[in-house]
Chains A and B, each alone.
Chain A
């Protein structure tokens, strides 16, 4: 079987159970899509799966933002702006696939992985450190 696109790592955990749980589920969803991409799923299936990921990420960001605000997270504004930028980007990815009517599994997968883990490694990690430092 194709190896997972994104491996869950302990440092993806930020310390808020409901957020961490969603991080896991999102990684699972992207890995599932990756397995479909490599076997050449139809355009409709791919854009549909991306649409579902868009919805899941939207509500994930909403939840993370609610928690950040409740905790009075100092870098909330910047983090929120980054969320909004990412949401713009995934829609662009969907549009690209829809418009061209085809996709290169390798390119699309790595674009998704970068898009996703990039935010983990930077903004969410900073939130993690801030939360840890609070105690």
Chain B
């Protein structure tokens, strides 16, 4: 079984569960993206509220957030918690949404666009979340700052290590903090732009969840906020290292990985993950069925296909063939998913036409209507009795092949592809006693709008209307998710059972123009549904609240301290300046001739730190710069037992083989959790505090 096949198993189960527990309009699985938009707005509104009371200077920020949290716990406190928990919920939503789109294989071929524009959204979410935890400037923020700097400094991008901004309390500046505030505001704006691009190819993208579902989400988050308010840690103090910090595992989960396996492991893991995500749509097996094709001879530019295409793949263009029409339909093949929904909308798509190989204004090259008509005729000739059913089934919902007996199944990419005149024709010509449409779960069409358009065409609310004279009891519309075969089988059985009892179809008889008669939904009894609601949202709330600050990440044991070793120092040049020989002088360009040559290359800096005679740290650091002519940089944090200790720190910055150029012995008495800074500066070792 493929990875995707495996991924499908839990989603099939979830879909079945949701079908039993939620009314179709409230099915969260069918509107994960819309839930994401809703959460985004919750985060935005609560963020704006917080910003009003937020002190953007590093000195006042912690206090201002304490005031918001406690002095107005009923407003600012709730807003703060909503801000945190809705952001966490967004991570959950993205994870489920992404896995589900993967499981449904909605990223291949022309679906790549939403996928590829979704991947950067993950990045933006994380920039928002990490900078957000930074802004509180408590002990957790301190850890986030120090650890983020360590992560970034592992990349060969920044000349000067960012970590030096967080070496100790004296190094902290407003400048860096302000940068974080800007990032925390700019990232969501960019994210909004990308969210919009993400759905730019979706006609009528669902960007708001059903109202009731939205209310339940907001209420759940509010309840969580009141029960388990978001709180700060003690204020940041870079002269100490917090023993442990509560982590938000949704946003900060990579940091423990770094603590355990190092920054390189994190970057490699992330690079691999993102490369995989990006490549996924293009990995084999590739499936790109040919795009819909317009036949100008049959198209008068009526715009129905244009109105119905769920992927904005059709536009109307000025007439190109000299006929007197103003417009014609044009398919953009790179955007077409080959769902066939446009075929179902075209008024020329009727099986009453006389030509054996008629073509409609728009058709799928892989599923021509003339062939479909022959297939229906062949299938009908194999049926007999008074409960003959022709089932049109899509490939994405629950299987309908359990039909058996007196039912014939005909596959379509989407039930929305079936032009309503086909239903009329089958029933009025007596090819079958009933026509069944078997699609995906209601509101969760693989091709987004096929279920909706089908239902509306039958109900006479959307062109092309199913003719009034077609008896609706003989049209069965079954919506069932892939994993929900029970519903499908029940629908089929109910449909076939009711057919023989229906009055014979009288010609010319007029009826109500009405929707197809719905099948009973196999939902659980109401109390069980309520229980499922409470269970699902309770569990989600509990999980979100818990993982937002638990378990702690332990940084130090109770009796440990930290030594921060920092230097930025240019070693001696490898070759001293020397007078040039006349031959050497002649080789230089005339304007470059000097009497003395000064090669710029420097020696590496070798550093050692010893504690009571044992080596705690040693390292050779190459000079920076293209010509190895810059300073060498060291920034190390070393955990040591607290207490009295004899330290020796020394470095070599010349070509000598033995001994050291700068050495210092230190008698230190380190308090638990102290951050003891040893820095090489201006040619000598200095200690802080």
Contact = CB atoms under 8 A, between A and B. Distances in A.
Given A18-B324, A55-B348, A88-B469, A62 B353 contact: no
Interface string A11-49: 000000110011000000000000000000000010111
A61 B347 contact: yes
A65 B361 CA distance: 17
Given A52-B353, A55-B352, A84-B468, A91 B324 contact: no
B300 A18 contact: yes
Contact of A62 (B304, B354, B424): B304
A132 interface: no
18 contacts: A17-B324, A18-B324, A22-B300, A51-B350, A51-B353, A54-B350, A59-B346, A59-B361, A62-B300, A62-B302, A62-B304, A63-B300, A66-B303, A84-B460, A91-B428, A91-B469, A96-B507, A98-B429
Nearest to A18: B325
Contacts of A59: 298, 300, 302, 346-348, 361
A87 B300 contact: no
Contacts of B467: 87-88, 91
Contact of A51 (B302, B346, B354, B361): B354
Given A18-B325, A84-B465, A91-B469, A63 B302 contact: yes
Interface size class of A (residues with CB under 8 A): 20 to 34
Contacts of B347: 55, 58-59, 61-62
A5 interface: no
Nearest to A62: B302
A92 B508 contact: yes
Contacts of A98: 429
Given A84-B468, A88-B469, A62 B352 contact: no
Contacts of A21: 323-325
Interface in B450-490: 460, 463-465, 467-469
A94 interface: yes
Interface of B: 298, 300-304, 323-326, 346-348, 350, 352-355, 361, 421, 424, 428-429, 460, 463-465, 467-469, 507-508, 510
A22 B467 CA distance: 23
Interface string A42-85: 00010111111011001111110110000000000000000011
Interface of A: 17-18, 21-22, 45, 47-52, 54-55, 58-63, 65-66, 84-85, 87-88, 91-92, 94-96, 98-99
A100 to B, nearest CB: 10
B302 A88 contact: no
A25 B452 CA distance: 35
Contacts of B460: 84
Q: Which of A50, A55, A99 has the most CB of B within 10 A?
A: A55
B353 A91 contact: no
A52 B323 CA distance: 20
Nearest to A92: B508
Given A49-B354, A51-B352, A94-B352, A18 B469 contact: no
Contact of A58 (B326, B348, B429): B348
Contacts of B300: 18, 22, 59-60, 62-63
Contacts of B301: 18, 63, 66
Given A59-B300, A59-B361, A48 B348 contact: no
Contacts of A62: 300, 302, 304, 347, 463-464
Closest 5 CB pairs of A and B: A48-B354, A51-B352, A62-B302, A58-B347, A59-B347
Nearest to B302: A62
B350 A55 contact: yes
Nearest to A60: B300
A99 B504 CA distance: 14
Contacts of A48: 353-354
A21 B323 CA distance: 9
